[in-house]
Amino acid sequence: MVQLLQLIISGAAIGCIYALIALGFVLIYKATETVNFAQGDIMMVGGFVGLSAMTLGGLPFWAAFLVTIVVMTLFGMGAERLVLRPLLGQPAFTVIMMTIGLGYLARGVVTMIPYWGTETHTLPVPWKDEVFWIGEIGKGLVVSVEHLAIIIATVALVALLFAFFRYTRLGIAMQATSQNQLAAFYMGIPVRRVNMLIWGLSSAICGVAALLLAPITFVHANMGFVGLKAFPAAVVGGFGSIPGALVGGLIIGIVESLSGFYLPEGFKDIAAYVVVLVMLVVKPNGLFGENLTKKV
C-alpha cells in the first residue's frame, strides 16, 4: 500500500511537468489553432537560461526563477513575431513544420553556445536531495522535496492562470481570441498582439516547468524530449482544455510510474504512447474535449 502511494506521488510529480508543458500546447492551440512541436525544446532553453542565471550570474534561485520567466516570455514573443506571424492563415502542416524546424534548430544552437554545450548540468536548487517522511520515519511515506515542489508549484501556477483568465482584461481578451478570432478582432481586440502574448505566456510556463524538472533530470540539450510525452497528456485531456491538460498530465505521469514498477522493463517508456493510442481510438476528443465537427 505504501509502495503504491509512493509510486503515485512520484508519478504525479512527473505528471505535473507533463501537465505544465501540455498547458503550453493547449494555450497556443486554443488561441491560434497551431500545435507547437518545439514546446519541449523551448523548455530546454528555459532550463539553460535558469542555469546560466544561477551559476554564471550568481543569482539566488528565486531571482533566477524570475529572470527565466522574463527571458522565456520575450523568447516566446520573439519566436512568434519572427517566424510564426508570417505564416498566419497558412495550412496547419506548414506551421507544424515550422515549429519542428524551430525545435531542431534550438537543439543545434544550444549545443554550440559556449558553457551550455553538450554536457549535462546540475541546477543547484535549494531543496536538492531533501526528503521528508509522512508517518513514521523509516517506515511511512517518503516524499522528496523536489517532487513536492513540483506539485505545489503546478497547483499554484494553475490557480494563478485560472484567476488570470477569469478576472483580468487581458485574460478575457485571450479567451475571446481563442473562441473566435474574427469576432474578437471586430470587438477591438488586437488579435495579433494577443497571439504574441500567448506565445510568451506559454514559453514562460515552459520555463517554470524546466526549472522544476531540472533537479530530477538535470539540464542538457536533449531535455526537451520530455515534451514529446506532453502530447499524450494534452490529447488524453482533450486538446483544447486547460483542466484537461492538468488531468491528462497526471494520468500519464501516474500510469508511467505504475507501469515502470508492475510491468516488464521497457513499458515505462512507451506507456504514455499506448495510453494515447487507446484514447485516440476510443475517444479522440479526450476527456474534457469539445465535440468538434467541421462545417463544410
Partner 1 sequence: MHFLFKTAYAQDVALFKHGGQKFWYALLAVALVAAPFLLSEYALSQFTFIGIYAIVCLGLMLLSGFTGQVSLGHAGFLAMGAYTEAWLQSMGWPFVLSLTMSALVAGITGILVGLPALRVKGIYLAIATLAFGFIIEEAVVRAEHITGGNAGRQLEKLVIAGIDFDDGINYYYLVTAIAVLCVLGVLNLLRSPTGRAFVAIRDSEVSAQSMGINLAYYKTVAFALSAALAGIAGALYAHKIRFITPDQFGFLQSIELLMMVVIGGLGSIQGAIFGPAFWFIVQQVIVIGKDWLPPALGQQTGLQPTIFGFILIAVVLFEPMGLYGRWLKFRTFLQIFPFYRKGMFKRQKSYMKSERMK
**What values do phi and psi take at 219, rounded to 5?**
-105, 120
Q: Rounded to whole angstroms, how far apart are CA atoms 137 and 133?
A: 6
Length of the chain: 296
Output the nine-digit C-alpha cell for 153: 508549484
Question: Residues binding partner 1: what is the number (CB under 8 A)?
Answer: 58
Distance CA 50, CA 167 (A): 30
Q: Of residues 60-119, which lie at the interface with partner 1 (CB under 8 A)? A: 83, 86-90, 92-94, 96-98, 100-102, 104-112, 114, 118
Q: Which residues pair with 142 in a beta bridge?
A: 133
Q: Is 35 in the site for partner 1 (CB under 8 A)?
A: yes
Residues whose CB is less than 8 angstroms from the CB of residue 74 and which lie 6 or more positions away in sequence, other chains included: 200
Residue 245 is a binding residue for partner 1 (CB under 8 A): no
Q: Which of 197, 276, 287, 288 binds partner 1 (CB under 8 A)?
A: 276
Residue 28 sits in the site that holds partner 1 (CB under 8 A): no
Please name the residues in contact with 55: beta carbons below 8 A apart, sequence gap of 6 or more. Answer: 121, 124
Residues 126-155 touching partner 1, rule: CB under 8 A, are none
Q: How far is the CB of 80 from partner 1 (least distance, A)?
A: 14
**Residue 134 beta carbon to partner 1: minimum distance, rounded to whole angstroms:** 34
Residue 176 binds to partner 1 (criterion: CB under 8 A): no
**Amino acid (1-letter code) at residue 114:** P
d(CA 201, CA 195): 10
**Smallest gap from residue 155 Cβ to partner 1 (A):** 26
Please report how close the Cβ of residue 92 comes to partner 1 at its closest, in angstroms.
Answer: 6
Please report whether residue 120 would count as binding partner 1 according to CB under 8 A: no
Instruction: Pick the closer one to partner 1 by CB: 152 or 292.
Output: 292
Nearer to partner 1, 108 or 140 (CB): 108
Residues 6+ apart with CB under 8 A from 195: 31, 32, 80, 85, 177
The values of phi and psi at residue 291, to 5°, are: -80, 110
226 vs 210: CA distance, rounded Å: 10
- Least Å distance, CB 98 to partner 1, is 5
Spatial separation of the C-alpha atoms in residues 59 and 71, rounded to whole Å: 15
Among 153, 170, 228, 258, binds partner 1 (CB under 8 A): 228
Residue of 235, 246, 250, 251 interacting with partner 1 (CB under 8 A): 235
Part in contact with partner 1 (CB under 8 A); list of ranges 14-22, 132-140, 165-173, 224-232: 224-232
Q: What residues form DSSP beta bridges with 143?
A: 132
- What does the DSSP 8-state code read for residue 88? T
| Contact residues for partner 1, defined by CB under 8 A | 29, 33, 35, 83, 86-90, 92-94, 96-98, 100-102, 104-112, 114, 118, 180-182, 221, 225, 228, 231-232, 235, 239-240, 265-266, 269-270, 272-274, 276-277, 280-281, 284, 290, 292-296
